Each structure stands twice: as C-alpha cells, then as structure tokens.
Amino acid sequence: MTSTVNLLSTSKCFGGLVKRYSHYSECCACEMKFHVFEPPAATSKPAVLLFLSGLTCNDENFITKAGAIEYAYKNNLFLVCPDTSPRGCKIEGEDDSWDFGTGAGFYVDATTEKWCKNYNMYSYISEELYNIVNKQFSVNVNKWSIFGHSMGGMGALVIALRNPGKYQSVSAFAPISNPVDCQWGLKNFSNYLGTDDKSKWEQYDPSILARNYKGSHIDILVDQGTEDNFLEEQLKPQTLQDACEANPQHLALSLRKQEGYNHNYFFISTFIKDHIEFHAQHLNQQ
C-alpha cells in the first residue's frame, strides 16, 4: 500500500512547480519529507531524476542551492529530492555527531537492533519512495536515473549497481567511493550493520559492487574537485575507477577531476548542467 502524501508548500519556478511533501514511511517508521520539481505540462510524461544529498543535508539543500531546476525544466525532467535520514526517532545518540545518525542515514538498511527499526534508507529510496513517485505523480515509470553528492553519491552508485535495469544512468559529485576503507564508512557501517559480518558492508560499497557487477550496461559520470578536503582520506575515487576499468563490458565510468574545486555547492552548481544533460540523453532515448 502506498502511503498518503501531504502537500506542505508550492512555489512556481521556471514555469513549473516546486513542491514539498511529507508522508509516513513504513520503511523508516516515521514521517519523511521530500521535494519535487514538476516541469510545465508537456505532451509526454516526464522521466524522473532522483538526487541523493550528502552528510548533514535534508530535502531542502539541493533543490534550493544547486541551480538544477533550470536544467530539469529545459530537459523536461521530474526532479525528486528526498531527505538523508529519518528524523526525530528518539534513538539515543542519533544527534550526537554530524557524521552519524540524523542527517547521515548512509542509504543502508540497518541490521543492528538499535537502528534497524528506523534507519532503512536503502529500501526507502529504492522501493518506498520509488513507488510513491510512480503512483502519486504523472511521470514515466519506466524512465528513472539517479545521482547524488558525497554520501548521496555513494548511495546513488550503490542503488544503481544493486538494481540493474532500474535506472537509465547514474552520476555523482565527489562520492564516497570505498566506504569499507574510510573513517566515515567504518563509523556508520559498524553502528548500522555491526562488525560480525563484513559482507553486509560490501553490499553498500560502490567500488566492490562495480568490480563484481554483471547486470545491464550502465554509464557513470563522476566529478571530483582536486581541492576537496575529503579527497584522499574519505572519497578515494581512484578505487572506483580501478573497479570500473576492471569491468569494462558492464560499466563505463567518466571520472572528471575538476581543478581547484572543493566539496561544496559552489562545486555542484558549476557542473550541474553537465550532469542533468548527461541523464537527459539517457532518459530521452527511445
């Protein structure tokens, strides 16, 4: 059963509408919020482009800061921007640090007792929200692509690689490419997934998934700033590139190193046009 969505706000933008919704999530056992951009009425139902935000963000950051709406409008794309985690679940420690808990769902389905009731962002994004959008809005249910930033870039890659054929393309800005081997990943995976079975961690590692991926071909675009403070210790894009190069029959990665850019929305807004047009090319193919 698809949950009822409640309209919170509406704003006109580029002739279309930016809307914010809330709904009760079965996956996360709490209220969740998301934004959409509905392009102006067209003769055909728009394809869907889903963006996953990074650490500390919510459903508002990308839709207001990235400059994406103009290009979604020009390419007749229905843009979806969900939150990054459950909120207000009253779990001890969920608000203690910026890189774990609230704002840091890491797009996993938690298995540890403390977190498994609420922290199920993988299923929320790939199943629950997917079904809500397809049923509640006038969109092309067969045309979806996905992208994200940092933690959300990791989530986008993981969801695309674990669901062959569901997304026409995937891209990322500065994704966490090898979370089993960085401090952000170690902190979140050990708490959400436990330490007894590290194979659970590998289900959410883009580089491991890419190396082993055998599904339908996927084109991947990644932009990485060379002045990103997190580049060497947390993001490790070279590991993803090596994995994709070892699997050329199934994956084609374009990793672009952008000189002088760091990890923020100035970086994202500079290259957002490229990413949306990349997805539009795949989504608008017959």
Cα distances (Å, whole numbers) of residue 8 to 19, 36, 52: 7, 12, 20
Residue type (1 letter), 115 = W
> What is the per-residue pLDDT for 154?
98
Given the residues 83, 171, 228, 275, select the one marked as catalytic: 228
pLDDT at 42: 67
Of 150, 171, 177, 207, which one is the catalytic site residue? 150
Supply the pLDDT for residue 88.
95
**CATH assignment at residue 30:** 3.40.50.1820
pLDDT value of position 286: 55
Number of domains in the chain: 1
So what's the pLDDT on residue 41? 76
DSSP states along 31-42: EEEEEEEEPPP-
How many other CB atoms sit within 10 Å of the CB of residue 93? 12
> Is there a contact between 60 and 92 (Cβ–Cβ < 8 Å)?
no
What is the enclosing helix (H) or strand (E) of 157?
Answer: helix 151-162
pLDDT digits (tens, 9 = 90+) for 22-71: 999 999 999 999 999 999 976 689 999 999 999 999 999 999 999 999 99
pTM of the full predicted structure?
A: 0.97
- Catalytically annotated residue among 23, 35, 149, 263: 263
Q: For the chain, which ranges sit under pLDDT 70?
A: 1-2, 42-43, 286
Catalytic residue check, 150: yes
Question: How many Cα atoms within 13 Å fall on the side-chain side of residue 104?
Answer: 19
Domain around 80: 5-283
Burial class (CB in 10 A: 0-12, 13-18, 19+), 7: exposed
